[in-house]
Amino acid sequence: MSTSANDRPSGPGLIFGPGPEGWWDSERVSCPKVMRGEDGVWRMWYYGRDKTFDRKIGLPTGRVGLATSTDGINWERVRGPGVMGSVLDPHPDP
């Protein structure tokens, strides 16, 4: 299951913003790392948080997600096995 990032944030150069309500990245996204695979698909791993993320876990910790694109402009979020669709979740032990 995926969700489209078609409702892009406005502003110069912005192509990927926070996810929809109920997703792990609905409050903020940052720190993207993008690679193009041999299959031609762009994959972006990124950090994010939702409003319920435990604030006792300090920055720069958050959940990690994955989005894919065939053109590097239009991205689809990939629902992972973690909390609210994240790919990786932080461990509660500091």
Q: Which domain holds residue 46?
A: 2-85
Whether residue 7 lies inside any domain: the answer is yes
Predicted TM-score of the model (pTM): 0.79
Whether residue 90 lies inside any domain: the answer is no
Q: Nearest Cα to 68, choosing from 56, 76, 58, 60?
A: 76
Widest CA span in the chain: 40
Whether residue 67 lies inside any domain: the answer is yes
Whether residue 93 lies inside any domain: the answer is no
pLDDT digits (tens, 9 = 90+) for 1-58: 444 554 556 666 778 999 999 999 998 898 899 999 999 999 999 999 888 887 776 6
CA distance 26 to 24: 6
Total number of domains in the chain: 1
CA distance 76 to 35: 15
Whether residue 92 lies inside any domain: the answer is no
> In which order are the strands placed within the sheet that holds 63-69?
2-4, 76-78, 63-69, 42-49, 28-36
